[in-house]
Structure 1
Amino acid sequence: MKYLFVLVFATFAYGDDCIKVKAAFDIGSGTTKMKVGRVNTCLQKIEKILLEANEPVAYKEKLQNHPKNLLGEDIQQDGLNALLKLKKMAQAYSPVSYQAVATSAFRTADNGEVVAKKLAIDSGIDIDVISQKEEALLGFAAAVSKSNKEVSQVLVWDIGGGSMQMTSYNKLGKFDIYEGKIASASFKKLIIKNVQKHDPKEVKTPNPISKLDYQTSKNAAKAYAQSTVPKTIKEKIQSGAQVLGIGGVHYYSVRGQTKVESKYDHSTLESTISSKLAKHDADIGGDYASTDVSNLILVKSYMEALNIKEVEAFRINLADGVLLSGKSLIK
């Protein structure tokens, strides 16, 4: 299935046949997210989110530790269990469709497409493995629908378990996209392997992270950002574009740890990181303790490298984009 991305600015009359209840799933590299929404399909507008739920599924971590770069039977079963649990919750709202997109872990696994097809058959959910460009544009579509800024004055920053995207729309009618390869799971692995000199197959968490670990990993991430983020994205940031953070890393991990309503800056991140150093997973708590502190460091590193002064976190993931777009996403 291929997708066509459209920004809709026009308004027109519509009837009740435009209103549909749909279920959408974002099968990320570390979490499977679901949203059930009442959608105006004529205006491509989400009128109301009726249900939102998430289930942790460590696709990327399992993939990174598999000797043949495969999604093994154990993680496949975990993934199916998560989808079936979420779908059962959605059925109370009688959605007309169940659609999902699968991202980085499925793109990079040698059996990613095969596993996605098997999960689709076993769950009864329409699943597409999408490219990183499609992932970026889906997130952008969902985020700009929530922003009060001009579409050309927004930069959407999405960090997942396996990939990172920065997306902007220029006045020439084209998208500028950064397709980053470092994200939550891969940055955690970088700290464990390259900074702390442990074997990620044996050591599953970088915590406790020392001050030296923090500085070393931050310097590595800053250097990577400075060398890989394209000039057009850097210029968009320097022009004063509003930086919208979407996905679980920004909204749940960073916003949750900093305890802000929606916006965080350098000083907020620095003080939060300082309070988390030298703590074990049990002290940090939660299902994502092993990546929470490294997520803070990753975001802080990129903000410093690209001179991002402030990020506003939105409760948005790719499921919002799937609700908006249905079977017509991006080309």
Structure 2
Amino acid sequence: MIKIQKYGAIDIGSNAVRLLIMDVIEKDDGTSVKFKKAALIRVPIRLGEDTFVTGEISEKKIIRLTDAMNAFQLLMSIHGVVKYKACATSAMRDADNGDYVIDRILKKTGIKIDIIDGKIEAKIIATTDLGELLDNSKSYLYVDVGGGSTEMTVYKNGTISRSKSFKMGTVRMLNQKDSLKDEWEEMKEWVKKHTAGIKNISLIGSGGNINKIYKMSGRTDGSPLSYIYMKANYRYLKTMSYDERISELNLNQDRADVIIPATKIYLSAMKWSDAKRIYVPKIGLADGIVKSLYAGIIE
């Protein structure tokens, strides 16, 4: 016999808001557990568009976010979710009215949102299936690019060597281009410093944009993308207009602009670390939230 329970994760990012519902399947003898995606809903609210320009989240986006949380609450009820957690990242963290927004949503929807920093975000993501990909005899630079921040982690011998969060995300780059030079230089120096002398390092990329790039490449699951491919793809994307990326590449409106800065970050990280390939496992913050909940790492 098996036992199946549904867990939920709400990821409130700078570009999109996601609800992931997963079946947690346990054997009654306690020998194994499997996680199977039951539903994934994505809403492109783009909170960072407000935070990174005006410093706070507008009334219009607060209403949209509240409506999304109400919808997520209903969907979780319909699915019979027994446990869930809602986490907000960079845009909510940087917003001057972030605490007000969270309090208002709690009163209107009953959903409690926790604002997490980059270190916690990286720790949660580390509870995903990332370990199954790592070869303990090799080294990796893990790069997670979001709308408001980029988390980077260096893995050596299967363990975390260094980890840092940078205020360098796709929506932030679109709206604060001229004010991010110092942050970009800091990220560059950090990667170079902590990957210096590491031979045959590979990148591991996560985030909606690298997942889309990987899907467009037509590669079979598990096969890495080369630096040459990423560079050629970046040049190709830049030759196209925003409208062409939507009409010819079938990208969503909220993906067609941010895919350019996202590709720049991944490509730059490969160049700085001298990585020749990037692996793209299907992992993210929402997956990590579910698995962390199940493992009791977070509540």
The answer to whether the 8 Å contact 1:250/1:313 transfers is yes
Structure 1 unaligned blocks of 5 or more: 1-14, 196-216
Tell me if 1:320 matches 2:283. no
The answer to whether the 8 Å contact 1:184/1:249 transfers is no
| Distance in structure 2 (CA, Å) of the matches to 1:235 and 1:122 | 50
Residue 129 of structure 1: CA displacement?
0.7
Q: CA RMSD in A?
A: 3.2
Matched to 1:20, the amino acid is Q
Q: Of 76, 84, 100, which residue of structure 1 is paired with 2:70?
A: 84
1:215-254 → structure 2 map (5 Å cutoff): 223-229=185-191, 231-232=193-194, 234-235=195-196, 238-252=198-212, 254=213
Deviations 1:254-285 (A, max 9, x none): 32454444532222122222222243211111
Q: Which moved more, 1:36-45 or 1:137-146?
A: 36-45
Residue 47 (structure 1) aligns with: 35
Q: Of 17, 22, 25, which residue of structure 2 is paired with 1:37?
A: 22
Shift of the 194–156 alpha-carbon distance from structure 1 to 2, 3 Å rule, reads closer
Q: Which moved more, 1:131-140 or 1:241-250?
A: 241-250
Per residue, is there more strand in 1 or in 2?
2
Matched to 1:297, the amino acid is K
| Distance in structure 1 (CA, Å) of the matches to 2:137 and 2:89 | 25
Residue 292 of structure 1: CA displacement?
1.8
Matched to 1:326, the amino acid is L
Residue 308 (structure 1) aligns with: 275
Identity %: 21
Shift of the 255–86 alpha-carbon distance from structure 1 to 2, 3 Å rule, reads farther
TM normalised by structure 2 equals 0.82
Tell me if 1:139 matches 2:131. no
The answer to whether the 8 Å contact 1:157/1:244 transfers is yes
Residue 318 of structure 1: CA displacement?
0.8
Matched to 2:203, the amino acid is V
The 4+ residue runs of structure 1 with deviation greater than 6 A are: 41-44
Tell me if 1:26 matches 2:14. no
User: Aligned with 2:287: secondary structure?
Assistant: helix
| Distance in structure 1 (CA, Å) of the matches to 2:256 and 2:163 | 30
Residue 188 (structure 1) aligns with: 174
TM normalised by structure 1 equals 0.74
| Distance in structure 1 (CA, Å) of the matches to 2:5 and 2:202 | 31
User: Aligned with 2:81: secondary structure?
Assistant: coil
Deviations 1:142-176 (A, max 9, x none): 14255263498554321100011112455696652
Residue 126 (structure 1) aligns with: 112
| Distance in structure 1 (CA, Å) of the matches to 2:144 and 2:175 | 19
Residue 249 (structure 2) aligns with: none
Residue 105 of structure 1: CA displacement?
0.8
Residue 133 of structure 1: CA displacement?
0.3
| Distance in structure 1 (CA, Å) of the matches to 2:64 and 2:278 | 33
| Distance in structure 1 (CA, Å) of the matches to 2:108 and 2:200 | 47
| Distance in structure 1 (CA, Å) of the matches to 2:159 and 2:265 | 31
User: Aligned with 2:18: secondary structure?
Assistant: strand
Deviations 1:280-326 (A, max 9, x none): 21111122212122222222122112212111112221111110111
Residue 268 (structure 1) aligns with: 229
| Distance in structure 1 (CA, Å) of the matches to 2:287 and 2:39 | 12
